[in-house]
């Protein structure tokens, strides 16, 4: 195809303008895309799209002694402290087995006094663990039955100790220094634990931990004795604080107690007036 000079000049101008036209069209398209309004979801639409999760979908978690139906029944039931109930305080050890050691610690007695004086229980008593019973929870339930107690406070304490050297340890180079210089730095951390166990339902209503810590120095020959004395001192100081916290928790459970029929009737009469 032959083009004259004018035609050739026109074609050349079109070829030069074509990229500019394409760029303008692309910019126009980008501008229109940027002007699209964002998607908006209303609160109602969001709620319908994500319902509240109420079931456990992890199959491995459901293997145990409590069925799915029983679990939901337990969690849906009201939690409160029965009126006029009896309570016992039991020292326990690992896995909450009754502690058969001589009850030299005064903390259980402090708990009994505070709970009985609170007026929330008909009677509170220290429970002797020397009665012949099974181990573990079956033994605790048998003890509760012997004492006619609907609730048990399971008490235990544990300590972790660390021994370091202080400046007095330099005197250990001499025989006399090793015997008398307090170069052993004792660091003792402990916890007092009280758990309220509902014997009839087998459920635990609460656990209170009172954490304690103290330091002392001792000679190597007196380290064991000083450690025992330090623990006894910490227990004696922490017992009233633990008892106060346990009573406070019990008061909250007593306040959640459903109104009796008589109270509901009196309330209805008062409202009718």
Q: What is the CATH number of the domain that holds 246?
A: 3.30.160
Domain span at residue 222 reads 85-256
pLDDT digits (tens, 9 = 90+) for 66-81: 888 898 999 999 999 9
Number of structural domains found in the chain: 1
Can you tell me the mean pLDDT for 257-269? 58
Q: Is residue 141 part of a domain?
A: yes
- Across all residues in the chain, what is the average pLDDT? 80
Q: Within a domain: residue 195?
A: yes
Helix (H, G, I), strand (E, B) or coil at 102: coil
Has residue 29 been placed in a domain? no
Tell me whether residue 238 is in a domain: yes
Q: What are phi and psi of 253, to 5 degrees?
A: -70, -35
- Note the pLDDT of residue 17: 54
Q: Residue 218: how many CB atoms within 10 A of its CB?
A: 21
Asked whether the predicted pLDDT for residue 157 surpasses 50, the reply is yes
Burial (CB < 10 A; 0-12, 13-18, 19+), residue 81, is buried
Q: Helices 223-255 and 107-117 sit at what angle, rounded to 10 degrees?
A: 20
The sign of the torsion formed by the CA atoms of 186, 188, 93, 100 equals positive
The tokens of 241 are what?
């604080």
The answer to whether residue 173 is domain-embedded is yes
Band of residue 91 on the pLDDT scale cut at 50, 70, 90: very high
What are the tens digits of pLDDT across the range 20-65? 555 555 555 444 555 666 666 565 555 566 788 778 888 777 767 8
Residue 260: pLDDT band with limits 50, 70, 90: low
**What is the enclosing helix (H) or strand (E) of 246?**
helix 223-255
Q: Tens digits of per-residue pLDDT, 132-145?
A: 888 888 899 999 99
Q: Is 272 exposed, middle or buried (0-12, 13-18, 19+ CB in 10 A)?
A: exposed
Its pTM surpasses 0.75 = no
Alpha-carbon gap, residue 266 to 152, rounded angstroms:
33
- How confident is the model over 181-237, as pLDDT tens digits? 666 778 899 999 999 999 999 999 999 999 999 988 777 777 788 889 999 999 999
Q: What pLDDT, on a 0 to 100 scale, did the predictor assign at position 144?
A: 96
In a domain, 222, yes or no: yes
Give a yes or no: residue 46 inside a domain: no
Residue ranges of E strands in 129-261: 151-165, 184-198, 203-218
pLDDT-based confidence at 240, cuts 50/70/90?
A: very high
- What does the alpha-carbon distance between residue 257 and residue 50 come to, in Å, rounded to a whole number? 35
**Is 43 among the domain residues?**
no
Per-residue pLDDT at 269 exceeds 50: no
The answer to whether 121 and 115 are in contact (CB under 8 A) is: yes
Higher pLDDT, 166 or 14: 166
- 127 SS3 class: coil
How many residues appear in the chain?
Answer: 273
> In the prediction, which pLDDT does 273 show?
44
Is 264 a residue whose pLDDT tops 50? Answer: no
pLDDT at residue number 238: 97
Do the beta carbons of residue 223 and residue 181 sit within 8 Å?
A: no
Find the helix or strand (DSSP H, E) in which 58 lies. none
């Amino acid at each position: 195809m032959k083009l004259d000079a004018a035609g050739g000049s026109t074609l050349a101008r079109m070829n030069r303008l074509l990229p500019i036209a394409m760029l303008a069209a692309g910019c126009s398209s980008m501008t229109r895309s940027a002007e699209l309004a964002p998607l908006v979801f209303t609160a109602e639409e969001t709620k319908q799209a994500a319902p509240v999760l109420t079931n456990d979908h992890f199959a491995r978690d459901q293997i145990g002694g409590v069925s799915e139906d029983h679990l939901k029944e337990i969690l849906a039931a009201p939690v409160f402290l029965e009126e006029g109930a009896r309570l016992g305080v039991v020292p326990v050890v690992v896995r909450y087995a009754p502690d058969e050691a001589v009850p030299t610690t005064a903390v259980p007695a402090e708990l009994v006094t505070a709970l009985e004086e609170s007026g929330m229980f008909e009677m509170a008593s220290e429970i002797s663990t020397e009665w012949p019973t099974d181990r573990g929870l079956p033994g605790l339930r048998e003890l509760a039955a012997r004492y006619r107690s609907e609730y048990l406070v399971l008490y235990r304490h544990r300590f972790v100790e660390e021994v370091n050297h202080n400046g007095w340890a330099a005197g250990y180079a001499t025989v006399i220094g090793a015997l008398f210089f307090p170069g052993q730095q004792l660091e003792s951390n402990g916890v007092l634990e009280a758990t309220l166990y509902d014997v009839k339902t087998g459920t635990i209503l609460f656990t209170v931990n009172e954490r304690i810590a103290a330091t002392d120095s001792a000679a190597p020959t007196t380290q064991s004795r000083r450690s025992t004395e330090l623990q006894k001192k910490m227990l004696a100081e922490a017992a009233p604080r633990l008892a106060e916290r346990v009573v406070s928790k019990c008061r909250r459970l007593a306040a959640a107690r459903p109104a009796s029929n008589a109270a509901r009737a009196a309330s209805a009469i008062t409202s009718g007036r």
